[in-house]
Amino acid sequence: MQDLTALFGILAALTVGVVSPGPSFVMVARTAVCASRREGIAAALGMGAGGVVFAVAALFGLHALLLAVPSLYLVLKLIGGLYLAYLGYRIWASAERPLMIGNLAERSATRTTRALALGFTTQISNPKTAIVYASVFAAFLPGAQSLAFDVTLVVLVFLVEAGWYALVALALASAQPRGVYLRCKTGVDRLAGGVMIGLGLKLASSVQR
């Protein structure tokens, strides 16, 4: 019973964070709209894999580590913020580049793998997500948990992360959202890039506080 309560508490808290808009949402949404449904799903799976990394780290005491070495969190914020800003710049810089309709039909393994990697790196580059995982796990984990509990928790974390972003990808990869994107590509890309740059710089600048 205690294990079920802990699982429910952790998943409920993480779900609230997952559905909140942020860099991960922006990246999956843009990938699904401007590339393909397959690549959007691949990016969602990358987000899920990133969530697994945070979950495993939290189980191994990430919260205690960050408390013991505060400078580590500052380094993570700086590197993660600069990386998010770089991704935003790439989106902004390509805003006026025309998107060939033929490219949307491509299903190469390379493009899918690239989307998977982009989802993963976007997820793990945000140290605020690491803090959320560390704090939630520290608050809800039972005093002693079994290997079966840990494995179940990690699997459920993957399903929550990947499942939500897969829904986002499926919704935005349909014909109507894509048609809107193609008509407004420059503005949409600049908005998405600007949001990513702003979030990244805000994260990186918080190191000085």
Over residues 149-174, the mean pLDDT reads 91
**CA nearest to 124, candidates 163, 167, 79, 169:** 79
The 10s digit of each residue's pLDDT in 66-109 is 667 778 777 777 887 888 888 888 888 877 776 554 444 445 67
- Asked if 155 and 56 count as a contact pair (C-beta separation under 8 A), the reply is no
- Asked if 195 and 88 count as a contact pair (C-beta separation under 8 A), the reply is yes
Give every CB contact of residue 197 below 8 A, 6+ residues apart in sequence: 84, 85, 88, 89, 92
pLDDT value at residue 108: 67
Confidence of residue 135 (pLDDT cuts 50, 70, 90): confident
Q: Which of 85-89, 144-148, 149-153 has the lowest mean pLDDT?
A: 144-148
Q: What is the DSSP string of the chain?
A: -HHHHHHHHHHHHHHHHHHS-SHHHHHHHHHHHHT-HHHHHHHHHHHHHHHHHHHHHHHTTHHHHHHH-HHHHHHHHHHHHHHHHHHHHHHHHTTTS---GGGGG---HHHHHHHHHHHHHHHHT-HHHHHHHHHHHHHH--SS--HHHHHHHHHHHHHHHHHHHHHHHHHHTSHHHHHHHHHTHHHHHHHHHHHHHHHHHHHHHGGG-
Would the pLDDT of 123 be above 80?
yes
Over residues 102-124, the mean pLDDT reads 78
Over residues 7-15, the mean pLDDT reads 87
pLDDT value at residue 192: 81
